[in-house]
Structures are given as C-alpha cells and as structure tokens.
Amino acid sequence: MPKNDQLKIDLEGAGEVSALLLCPDKARQLLLFAHGAGAGMRHPFMERLAAELAAVEIATLRYQFPYMELRRGRPDPPATLTATVAAALRTACKAVPGLPILAGGKSMGGRMTSEAAAQGLLAGVRGLVFFGFPLHPPKAPGTKRAAHLSKVTIPMLFLQGSRDTLADLTLLRPIIQKLGALATLHVIESADHGFHVPKRSGKTDEDVLRELARTAQSWSEKL
C-alpha cells in the first residue's frame, strides 16, 4: 500500500500550510502537486489523480496555498504563491531524499509553479507538469499569462483538454512551438478544463485520469 502521510510545510516566518504525501512502495519520482484556484488539495480530482500517479510509481506531495489553508476566497498574491511552491520543494527534499523531483499542478497551481521556476526558485527540479495550464480567463483569449515561460529552463509537459475554455489551443500551440524542445503538448480529446468528458466521447473521467498519469509517467521517464 502507498504510504500516506500528513505533513506541514514551513513558510519561514509566514506560518505553515498542510500537505499530503502519497508515496508508493517503489516510487521512482515525486511530483509537487499544487491545487487550482477554487479548490484545495483534497478536491476529488486531486485525490483521484494522485492515486493514479501512485499506480505508475510517481509519488505526490499535495499542499495547500495559504489562502486555502485559511479558507479565504481570494488567492494570495503571486509572491506568496511562488514562495509556497519553493517551501513545498524544501519539504519534499527532506521527506523523500534522493527521489527525482517534478513540480506542477492543476490550473493556477501549475502556473504558479512555472512562475517559481522562472524566478529560479526550484533548483534541482527535473521538469514541470501542467494539468490544464490556464492560459487566459474564460471568454478572454490572450497569452500574457505565458510570458514567463520563456525564462523556464527545464522541460515542461502541458496536458490540456481540447474543450478547455481557459486555454485556446490555437493560441497555446504557437507558444509551445516557440519554447522548442523544452515543451511537450498532450491534448486530451473532448476534455474540459476540469478534465471531464461527455458520455458521447466514448471515454470516462476515470479513463482521462489514467491517461494523464500514464502520459506524465512516460514523459518523465525520458528526462
């Protein structure tokens, strides 16, 4: 059975936040797995995807951002969010020393992880995994949120639903192309931003979760 531990992440003078470490017996890598803007680390998507990742021998460290820990509705300022990602990395290095580390997250959590990487806060992390990179707000296409990606120097995997209203693929594809060999795009057909699929797709949400986990595992093994 995977080891499931509850941890605390020290924010170095700014309090602490909760974290959950799910580590399979034969873990090959660890993913720092940050939540999205509207739901915390215990959201069903986070729980189920962590289990699927454990099944392919990727451990996960899920953690709360301070605003979610304190049950505030509005996300913290970006500097607080990126500092929390960096603190999660320090905790992971102590909790599972020696495991190769990936970092990323769902929607905003992934974007704040890439912001932290662009700022040089994630030394030693081998790659970034985005589960639905939020390129722009719904019904407001744009690319401003991707400007920092050119400063990221490690491989990035973009896992995107073809019906994601927060990432117009006609805008995202040129960005990924410009990033060159560092960026890989995997499109989940019929999935929306939450990676839900309609019945007519012939797939289930569970199928999508397995596809996400297996794609991340296959990509990460090549790093």
Query: How many other CB atoms are there within 10 angstroms of residue 9's CB atom?
Result: 23
Q: Could you tell me the two tokens for 67?
A: 């605003």
Q: What angle do CA 121, 161, 92 make, to 5 degrees?
A: 30
pLDDT bucket at 54, cuts 50 / 70 / 90 = very high
Tens of pLDDT along 132-144? 999 999 999 999 9
pLDDT confidence of residue 64: 98
Among candidate residues 146, 156, 218, the one with its CA nearest the CA of residue 182: 156
CB 188 within 8 A of CB 211: yes
Tens of pLDDT along 102-148? 999 999 999 999 999 999 999 999 999 999 999 999 999 999 999 99
Q: Is the pLDDT of residue 2 over 90?
A: no
Query: In terms of CATH architecture, what is 3-221?
Result: 3-Layer(aba) Sandwich (3.40)
Please give the Cα distance from 151 to 117 (Å, whole number).
Answer: 8
The CA distances from residue 31 to 167, 173, 199, in Å, are 23, 25, 30
Q: Is the pLDDT of residue 1 over 70?
A: no
Please give the Cα distance from 115 to 152 (Å, whole number).
Answer: 8
Tens of pLDDT along 160-218? 999 999 999 999 999 999 999 999 999 999 999 999 999 999 999 999 999 999 999 99
Give the predicted TM-score (pTM) of the model.
0.97
Q: Could you tell me the two tokens for 32?
A: 């720092």
